[in-house]
């Protein structure tokens, strides 16, 4: 049991530890009837294994099988660690003052009636919380749960049906009902719980502080939170420090995004909720992993609870083993689209698979009534040196589930595994998912939910992918310009040795081998003659290292920068993507998708109607740029990719009020063209 110095106000992890393992508890307003809300906490503590000193405070009667007093003042000072106050609202503040007088360290207040922040009851409670060493959880909360020490300071109805197993997941919910739902999910999905805090109206202790305290505990691996509004923003700094120093994930479902949601939150808790955009950005900067739904939050906690090592892996490599090729395609798409994940590269590895299978990702195992082949494939892929986690997709239509689970439990895979089903309406029964959990294998209903949960658990990738110059992938502006129409409006460029250059101008790599010039320092602006020699020498040194040439280019006139990328889509043929360009390419969202199958007029209409088109055409009274000329350039780029080019990028294209200017380009020949075959 937890022991503490009583002249210190507990905060963060010290408060969390006290509530997890209090040496003594007093239930104020306790009832002997376990059907009443005031009777459940006492019943739980007596019946479910709490081993500390337990007192009941009842002004009218002695209760059976527990030491009963009339008021808290009848107990010795220092004899109670935590008081659970189960009184109606009018009696709460008086009881808390008594708790403060005898040195109680923390109180859990379950009563409602304090929603009006300007009402006298709430003002009295707030004043007490601000001035006292007594820490208050609530009011208007379901209570707290500490599983290891059976510290069930709650009236939760879930405990009438089942108990959580001990584990390493922490839970903080401002809503008691939604917390009950999450607790029920964790129990039914066989995930162990360390502690749960229902925080209610948060008069003295906020969700951010409790989450910080949980993250700092050695026996907690991950924390889930339901948050309507932040009441203890001064704890955001310590929260960020805890997230950075421990590497543990905090999954947050933030509600009250809309005006209606904010009004609802204010109505049932009195909580003030601010801008959704502000909270999302601030929480993201703190390192919080925000989820979109209750199901997504539960899924992330399942994976983190069953595979605790996964949250520390950065961009884990995923292998997909599926009874259905289509499910494998869906999973591969989701992995490829998520920057937190990557597909494992297993082609060419010598893996002992069934003779009908070959190492690839995703791996299609479409055999009916050959359960052993599927389980062997999952286990074998987990041994690959390239695989961090395996997602297996099974089906009762193809597999004997009892056999499947028995095999994977008997020979646990080498890497973490998340098993899923082909259909959400054909999921595994509970006794089998419990057996899987015992072997360290998480189960989620579908492949899309599995991939999202794994991505949420993966460590954030803080470093951008390294870009390596490569002459085999793309060709630069010289090559591209020779394959496009002569009337395209290039900003004038020439090789350094061809003629003297008069400032101002740009000196840069020609793009024969270097395409990402800025990262390598292979582009400089020369504004005066005095700057020329140093700039040219610097760029020439980089070009010499990468076997490129040096060119100079006129300074492009001002305008709106866009990037035009054209690819030969295997399904639709040439398709152009027009996005913000130059330095804005990675910072601004919104693009126009222009298909070569549309006539010129339709292409122009689509471009004008897009987000980027709105910016170009007198956005909020601003300049009107020449969208018609940009559309003409896009059409010429589409025509080029319909010919011998497989890919073309013009970046940036400067759109002016009249006309456009092309500054740079890169392209790739078709593999079956003469130049593509020669380079291959």
- pLDDT tier at 461 (50, 70, 90 boundaries)? low
- DSSP assignment of 359-425 equals S-SSEE---TT-HHHHHHHHHHHHT-TT-SEEEEEE-TTT--HHHHHHHHHHS--SS-EEEEES-TT
Contact 203, 317 (CB under 8 A): no
What superfamily would CATH give domain 560-679? Answer: ATP-grasp fold, B domain (3.30.470.20)
Task: Please say whether the beta carbons of 125 and 139 come within 8 A.
Answer: yes
| Torsion region of 299: left, alpha or beta (phi above 0 gives left; psi -120 to 50 gives alpha) | alpha
Confidence category of residue 69, pLDDT binned at 50, 70, 90: very high
pLDDT band at 3 (very low <50, low <70, confident <90, very high): very low
Q: Which one is predicted more confidently, 34 or 257? A: 34
Across the range 293-311, mean pLDDT stands at 89
Whether 310 has a pLDDT exceeding 80, the answer reads no
CATH classification of 492-554 is 3.30.1490, yes or no? yes
- The answer to whether 248 and 311 have CB atoms below 8 angstroms apart is yes
* pLDDT above 90 for 115: no
CA distance 603 to 585: 22
CATH topology of domain 12-305: Rossmann fold (3.40.50)
CATH number of 308-457: 3.40.50.261
Question: What 3-state DSSP class applies to 614?
Answer: helix
- Residue 77 has phi, psi (to 5 degrees) of -55, 135
How do residues 195-229 score in pLDDT, each as one tens digit?
Answer: 999 999 999 899 999 999 999 999 999 999 999 88
Domain boundaries, the chain: 12-305, 308-457, 492-554, 560-679
Query: Are the folds of 12-305 and 308-457 the same?
Result: yes
Looking at the chain, the whole-number percentage of residues with pLDDT higher than 90 is 73
The SS3 assignment for 63 reads coil
Burial of 421 per CB tally in 10 Å (0-12, 13-18, 19+): buried
3-class secondary-structure state, position 449: helix
User: What average pLDDT does the segment 244-256 reach?
Assistant: 91
Is residue 275 over pLDDT 70?
no
Q: Which of 463, 460, 464 is nearest to 284 (CA)?
A: 460
Pull the structure tokens for residue 33. Answer: 């009837």
In this prediction, residues 118-131 reach a mean pLDDT of: 92
Hunting for tokens 């909020």 — which residue is that? Answer: 620
Among the listed residues 125, 85, 124, 127, the one whose alpha carbon sits nearest the alpha carbon of residue 104: 85
CB distance 452 to 296 below 8 Å: yes
Residue 145 and residue 154 in contact, taking contact as beta carbons nearer than 8 Å: yes
Q: Specify whether the CB–CB gap between 198 and 173 falls below 8 A.
A: yes
On the CB side of 421, how many CA atoms lie within 13 Å of its CA? 19
Measured distance CA(109)–CA(27) in Å, rounded: 10
CA angle 297, 303, 307 (to 5 degrees): 150
Candidates 391, 331, 396; CA nearest to 368 is: 396
Phi, psi of 478 (to 5 degrees): -60, -50
Q: Assess whether pLDDT exceeds 50 at residue 398.
A: yes
DSSP-assigned letters across all residues of 460-525:
P--SPPPP---TTT-B-HHHHHTTS-TTS-BPPEEETTTS---SSEEEEE-SSS---HHHHT-EEE
Q: State yes or no: pLDDT of 317 exceeds 90.
A: yes
Secondary structure of residue 144 in the 3-state scheme = strand
Q: Is 320 helix (H, G, I), strand (E, B) or coil?
A: strand
E-strand ranges in 259-303 read 289-291
pLDDT at 256: 62
Of 94-103, 401-410, 541-550, 580-589, the one with minimum mean pLDDT is 580-589
Residue 586's pLDDT band, with cuts at 50, 70 and 90, is low
Distance CA 37, CA 466 (A): 59
pLDDT at 348: 85
Does residue 323 register a pLDDT over 50?
yes
Say what angle helices 325-337 and 447-457 make with each other, to 10 degrees.
30
- Average pLDDT score, the chain: 89
pLDDT (tens digit per residue) in 8-61: 899 999 999 999 999 999 999 999 999 999 999 999 999 999 999 999 999 898
pLDDT at 657: 95
Which of 428-437, 496-505, 639-648 has the highest average model confidence (pLDDT)? 428-437
- The pLDDT of residue 589 is above 70: no
CA 465 → CA 180, 284, 339, 473, distances in Å? 41, 20, 10, 17
User: Is the pLDDT assigned to residue 471 strictly greater than 70?
Assistant: no
């Amino acid at each position: 049991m937890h022991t503490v110095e009583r002249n210190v106000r507990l905060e963060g992890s010290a408060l969390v530890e006290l509530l997890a393992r209090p040496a003594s508890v007093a239930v104020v307003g306790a009832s002997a009837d376990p059907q009443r809300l005031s009777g459940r906490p006492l019943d739980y503590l007596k019946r479910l294994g709490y081993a500390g000193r337990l007192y009941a405070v009842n002004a009218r009667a002695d209760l059976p099988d527990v030491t009963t007093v009339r008021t808290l003042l009848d107990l010795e000072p220092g004899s109670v660690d935590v008081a659970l106050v189960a009184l109606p609202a009018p009696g709460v503040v008086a009881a808390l003052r008594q708790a403060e007088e005898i040195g109680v360290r923390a109180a859990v207040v379950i009563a409602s009636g304090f929603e009006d922040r300007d009402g006298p009851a709430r003002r009295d409670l707030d004043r007490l919380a601000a001035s006292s060493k007594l820490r208050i959880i609530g009011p208007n909360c379901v209570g707290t749960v500490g599983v290891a020490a059976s510290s069930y300071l709650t009236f939760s109805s879930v405990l009438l049906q089942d108990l959580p197993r001990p584990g390493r997941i922490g839970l903080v919910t401002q809503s008691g009902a939604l917390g009950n739902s999450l607790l029920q999910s964790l129990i039914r999905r066989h995930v162990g719980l360390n502690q749960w805090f229902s925080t209610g109206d948060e008069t003295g202790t906020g969700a951010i502080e409790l989450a910080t305290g949980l993250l700092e505990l050695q026996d907690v691996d991950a924390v889930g939170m339901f948050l309507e509004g932040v009441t203890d923003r001064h704890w955001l700094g310590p929260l960020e420090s805890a997230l950075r120093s421990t590497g543990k994930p905090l999954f947050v479902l933030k509600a009250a995004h809309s005006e209606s949601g904010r009004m609802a939150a204010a109505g049932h808790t009195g909580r003030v909720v601010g801008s959704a955009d502000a909270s999302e950005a601030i929480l993201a900067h703190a390192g919080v992993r925000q989820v979109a739904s209750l199901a997504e939050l539960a899924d992330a906690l399942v994976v983190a609870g069953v595979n605790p090592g996964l949250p520390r892996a950065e961009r884990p490599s995923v292998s997909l083993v599926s009874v259905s090729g289509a499910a494998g395609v869906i999973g591969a798409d989701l992995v490829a689209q998520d920057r937190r994940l990557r597909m494992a590269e297993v082609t060419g590895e010598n893996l002992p698979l069934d003779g009908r299978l070959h190492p690839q990702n995703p791996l299609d195992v479409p055999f009916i009534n050959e359960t052993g082949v599927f389980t062997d494939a999952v286990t074998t892929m987990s041994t690959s040196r390239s695989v961090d986690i395996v997602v297996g997709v099974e089906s009762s239509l193809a597999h004997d589930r009892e056999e499947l689970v028995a095999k994977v439990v008997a020979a646990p895979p080498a890497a973490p595994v998340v098993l899923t089903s082909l259909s959400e309406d054909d999921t595994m029964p509970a006794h089998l998912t419990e057996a899987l959990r015992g072997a360290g294998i998480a189960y989620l209903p579908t492949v899309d939910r599995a991939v999202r949960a794994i991505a949420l658990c993966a460590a954030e990738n803080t470093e951008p992918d390294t870009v390596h110059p490569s002459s085999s992938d793309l060709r630069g502006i010289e090559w591209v310009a020779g394959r496009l129409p002569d009337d395209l409006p290039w900003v004038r460029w020439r090789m350094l040795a061809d003629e003297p250059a008069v400032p101002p101008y740009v000196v840069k790599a020609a793009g024969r081998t270097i395409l990402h010039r800025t990262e390598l320092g292979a582009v400089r602006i020369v504004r005066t003659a005095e700057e020329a020699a140093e700039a040219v020498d610097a760029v020439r040194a980089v070009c010499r290292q990468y076997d490129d040439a040096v060119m100079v280019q006129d300074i492009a006139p001002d305008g709106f920068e866009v990037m035009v990328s054209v690819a030969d889509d295997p399904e639709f043929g040439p398709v152009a993507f027009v996005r913000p360009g130059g330095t804005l390419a990675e910072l601004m969202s919104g693009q126009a998708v222009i298909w070569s199958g549309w006539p010129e007029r339709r292409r122009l209409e689509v471009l004008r109607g897009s987000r980027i088109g709105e910016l170009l055409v007198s956005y909020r009274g601003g300049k009107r740029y020449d969208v018609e000329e940009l559309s003409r350039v896009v059409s010429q780029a589409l025509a080029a990719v319909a010919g011998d080019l497989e890919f073309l990028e013009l970046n940036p294209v400067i759109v002016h009020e009249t006309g456009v200017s092309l500054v740079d380009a890169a392209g790739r020949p078709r593999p079956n063209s003469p130049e593509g075959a020669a380079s291959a």
